[in-house]
Every structure is written in structure tokens, then in C-alpha cells.
Amino acid sequence: MKNLLLVLALLLCGSAFAQQLPTRWDELSAVEWPAALEKSSQTCVLPIGILEKHGPHSPLGNDLIHVREIAARVVKNEYAVVFPDYFYGQINEARQQYGTFALPANLIMQLLEATCDEIARNGFKKIIIINGHGGNPEFIEFFMQNLLNKRHNYAVYFYTPGNDPEFQKEYKKLSKTDPSTDLHAGERETSTMLYLRPDLIHVEKGTEQSGADQKRLHLTNLYTPIWWYASFPNHYAGQGDKATKELGKLIVDHEIAGFTDALKQVKADTQTLKLQNEYFDRVDSLGRK
């Protein structure tokens, strides 16, 4: 009887331990690591933000805080380990503004690969990137294509939300501004942060600077890296003063649902790494023929 009670106690303790397992990399202890690897299906979430001006009314870490919060809320119900704050992305277009943290292109490429390598060295086979900064997708996609330059013992996934007509319909009901001009620190981003971290938002300051397109370049079918500064020298594009918590909640709930689905897919995926290895086996075999 005593032995049975002991077994039951151990099982209950084990269950409680599993439920209390931290989700943040920096909050786990080394002895909890094997349990975290097993519970996450060896999956690590890498939220990538940036440090840049977000109008006169929002914090510099708006994008970082945003994805950090989304990741934290998702992994409460769909367990994965979340890597600590990562803000080393592409932000050269905002170097004229205080608080911007911009590193050279070769360095951010090397740093992201080294970070993924270290995440994998600690036992994770799957890394899913969730990005919060509009200037990062091209960089991240190019980085990921470059991963095919040499064999890696892990797979990287980049979460890219698709179009959702039902969400767009609800969004239009609550939105007060033109989506085509709501590009940076405007109604959408400010509403999201107003819902997630209202203590960091000062909506009343949203009109202190102009977020309108200055239209200082008149080029057709041509790209130049100065285009953003030409249009938005204040590094502000939209109307942050129109933000509402109601719109922010709609956005956040939608993002949580979308990323939860993506995380579940990654945890269940057995094909990506298998296909990567098959690809590199074929690459390696070319030199032996």
C-alpha cells in the first residue's frame, strides 16, 4: 500500500512539474532541459523584432514586444521553448532617428545563423521564426535560402500569415484609417500595443508629428533604398492617434490563432528535415560520380 501511495505521489509530482515547466529559454533550469525538449517536440520559437522609432507615441521596442507577447501567449497552450529577446534585424532606413540599433548586413546574417546553430546544439531540431518588423521579411527569407549553402542538422520555419477574408471583414468594421497609408506606427500597430501594453502607449502624442507620405520622389518602376526616407522622414507612416483597444484585441486574437496553428504544424512535421537531408545527400553525391 505504501509503495502504491509513493508511486501515485511521484506521478502527481511529475505531472505538476510538467505543467509548471517554464516556456522561456532563460527561465528554464539546466535540469529541466530534457523535459522541455520532449514536451516541445524539440521545437524552439525565435521571435525577431527590432529597435526603431515608432512615431512620437510608441516605444522603440514595439515590434519586439509585440512578437514576444504573441509567442508567450501561444506557448501557454501549445508548449514550445521561446528564445530570449532578439532584435538584430534590418533597420538601416531608420538610422537617422534616436534609439535605432542597426548592424551591418553581413553581421546580422552571421549572427542569425550562429544563433540557430546554438539553438540546435542545445537539442532543438525545429526553429520557428515569428517576425514583428516590416523591414525584416526579405532579410529573413534570404537568410533561409542561404541555409541551403551547407548541411544543417535542424530545420528553420518562417511563419508568414496568410490572407483571412473573415478577419479582414471584422477589421474593416473597427478600423478608422485607410490600410494603404497605415504602414508604420499607425492605427494597426498602435492598437496592437495599446491592447498588449497600454502602459507604453501615449495615443495623445500621435499627432505631434506627421505620418503622411511626403512624396519627395517621383520614380516609376524603379527601386531606390532611400524611398522610405523620401516618403516618411519622421519614420512614421499612419495615424497612431486613431488606435483603439478593440481593434488591438481583434488583431492579437487573430495572430494568436494563426501562430498556434503554425506551431502545431511544426511540432508535428517529420518531413522537412528528412527532405533537407535527402537534398544534401544528392548535393554531396555529385562530386563522387
Residues 184, 133: Cα–Cα separation, whole Å? 9
**pLDDT tens across 51-74, in order?**
999 999 999 999 999 999 999 999
73: Cβ contacts below 8 Å, ≥ 6 apart: 252, 256
Domain assignment present for 2: no
Domain span at residue 47 reads 23-286
pTM exceeds 0.95 for this model: no
Structural domain total, the chain: 1
CATH code of residue 59:
3.40.50.10310
**pLDDT tens across 100-151, in order?**
999 999 999 999 999 999 999 999 999 999 999 999 999 999 999 999 999 9
Domain assignment present for 11: no
